[in-house]
Structure 1
Amino acid sequence: FSVFPDLLLMQKNVMRKQRNWERRPEVKKSQRKEEKQRKKLNRQSKVNVSIKAITKERLEEARGAGLRLCVDLSMTDCLSKSGRLIPDPGLYGCNKKALQPFRVFLTELKEDSLLYKECVRMNDGFLNYLIDVTEESWFHLFPSEDVQFYVNVHYVSMLALEYVEEDKVYILGGLVDETIQKKISYTRAKELGIRTARLPIDEYMVKWPNPKNFHSKNPMFEILLTFRDTKDRTKALAAGIPPGKGYMVASAASTDIINPSEEL
């Protein structure tokens, strides 16, 4: 009678092996899929680390010898309360993506100011940004002969910015020049003897009826970055001014190029 338990045990072993064998292809397939996904994640992680390292290296090089671009924050008190509450979260991101990033200065940004606190609150890692933040005025920070242009968005200065010179300092202003207090930054620059320029929108773009205003520094920043990378004015303007704003790149320039070495 002892044969039957042994036979039953053998049958169970056979059935167990059969089930394991039947599951084996599925298990292997699942394992291969998991291994493939793991390798993909590892590759992506290495790529991300590499990109971050390259980006950091570019930004550090720019801080040492990059074209200097300064964001003038001295007149934010002239803006409305809601305007002062809007830092430029995309500005640093634009610079990080650039092949040739600028050395960025934020001048007259006081640590006890509302704008500074909003920059810290709304921009994760702001305190670790590879930029120069100072409470000092750009006028005292840079030699006057190094300051090439005080750049406005449009319509204020008569001179269109057509070139970017590597050894000069470009001041981004004009944020308050389209508010109720007209031409504040433009007037100040002229009083200080600094040459002013606007983006060459009229020269290279067609304005549709009822265009939207864009007074943020981000379009100026992105346009200058793209122009520096591509040397293409129309491509640069298209990168900073989306069609929804009511402007379209013209097929050809409408005015002669003005060389920045010429006196106003």
Structure 2
Amino acid sequence: MSEMDGLTIATELDRDVTKYPAEKRLKMENSSEEDPDMYNADTSSIMCMKSEMSKTLSKRQLKKQKQKEKWLAYRPVKRAKEKLKLRQKKLDARLNNIKLGPSRKELKHSKMLQSNCNVRIAVDLSFDDIMNDKEISKCIKQLLRCYSLNRRAKDPVQFYITNFGGKCKKEMEKHTGYMNWDVNFHSESYRDIFESKDLVYLTSESDNIIYSLEENKVYVIGGLVDHNSYKGICHQIAQEKGISHGKLPIEEFLEMKTRKVLTIDHVFEILLEVTGGKSWKEAFLHVLPPRKGAVERAEVFKEKLSTVSETQVQSNTEPS
């Protein structure tokens, strides 16, 4: 390709630049450097293209572009550090005779079909329209963790992902091989897959406390990353659809400083640990992150009792 052809391409890109968002323009820009067969213009032509395109970007877009370039440059270094850290962790475990987790052979036999646990957990991914791209990405990352946790469990639960389509499916497709996961993917709604009488939608707004998990029930987790923007939506859906609903017995065992709304993977992990034989309190204390400020009810009672005693002592020692 001649220099004149390279300049022609640059002119065409500049003419259509308003049609593409910043990310697409950046991708187009990168492709000109990485695909010499398609864009074999000389260095001066490429620099000219970059200069013209940078004029159309806002300061914010330019800042994001620089951050992305910096991240792409650092990514190989980060991956190398992670591999070195993992190698050292495995070496330390081997020297100290510590088992880090199930072996590949054990994982091959850890399938839902062979599991002794028949409790069904379904994630409802029907919230595509009210989540932005960042929230969709976080939602899929939480599902990845749910799969990983279930994969490594001695007796995995029967895991379903329902309403699987739209933006969530598109985001999931970035993870090659997900189709081979030991997960039941369904494009249909959970209401079309299971009988309504078996459904229990989990929501912190419910007045129904779940004290035990029943194998004939399907516990539905709302696949929503809302950052408190849609408070009570899962409870509202359950009421509108005439579905039973319930909440985990957090208040029975713990005092929390924050809202009792948990992430998808936290709810899944708690249910998984309870099906594995742990008590609710043990599961809560193991899974809930420190930022939730969860404290055992007994300790809270002791603190209150101590405060009352100190107040009484002070009142008794004050002169009348």
| Structure-1 residue corresponding to 2:210 | 161
Aligned equivalent of 1:180: 229
**Structure 2: 5+ residue stretches without partners:** 1-90, 302-320
Match of 2:292 in 1: 245
2:104 aligned residue:
52
When structure 1 is superposed on structure 2, of 62-71 and 91-100 the one drifting more is 62-71
Aligned equivalent of 2:248, options 196, 199, 206: 199
CA separation in 2, counterparts of 1:120 and 1:93? 17
Structure possessing the higher radius of gyration over alpha carbons: 1
Paired residues, what number?
A: 205
In structure 2, the partner of 1:139 is 191
Q: 1-side partners of 2:255 and 2:151: how far apart?
A: 30
Q: How far, CA to CA, are the matches of 1:172 and 1:73 in structure 2? A: 9
TM-score normalized by structure 2? 0.56
Give the stretch that moved more between structures: 132-141 or 199-208.
199-208
Using CA pairs under 8 Å that are at least 6 residues apart, name the structure with larger relative contact order, 1 or 2.
1
Residue 114 (structure 1) aligned with residue 163 (structure 2): no
Verify the 8 A CA contact 1:71 1:172 in the aligned structure 2: yes
Say whether the 8 Å CA contact 2:124–2:220 is kept in structure 1.
yes
> Once the 2 structures are TM-superposed, how far is the Cα of residue 213 of structure 1 from its aligned partner?
7.3
Aligned mates of 1:177, 1:162 — CA distance in 2: 26
Partner of 2:67: none
Q: Secondary structure at the match of 2:298?
A: coil
CA distance in 2, matches of 1:62, 1:120: 27
CA deviations 1:205-263 (Å, max 9, x no partner) are 1123xx37764200100000111112411011112202232212333899xxxxxxxxx
For residues 114-140 of structure 1, the C-alpha deviation after alignment (integer angstroms, 9 at most, x for no partner) is: 22122232x453221110111100001
CA contact (8 A) 2:125 2:223 kept: no
Q: Give the drift of 1:177.
A: 6.9
Q: Percent identity?
A: 27
Counterpart among 227, 233, 241 of residue 280 in structure 2 = 233
How far is 1:176 from its partner? Answer: 5.8
**Could you say what the CA RMSD is over the residues aligned between the two structures, in angstroms?**
3.3
CA 1:185–1:57: 2 relative to 1, 3 Å: same
CA contact (8 A) 2:254 2:296 kept: yes
Is the 1:109–1:134 contact (alpha carbons within 8 Å) kept by the matching residues of 2? yes
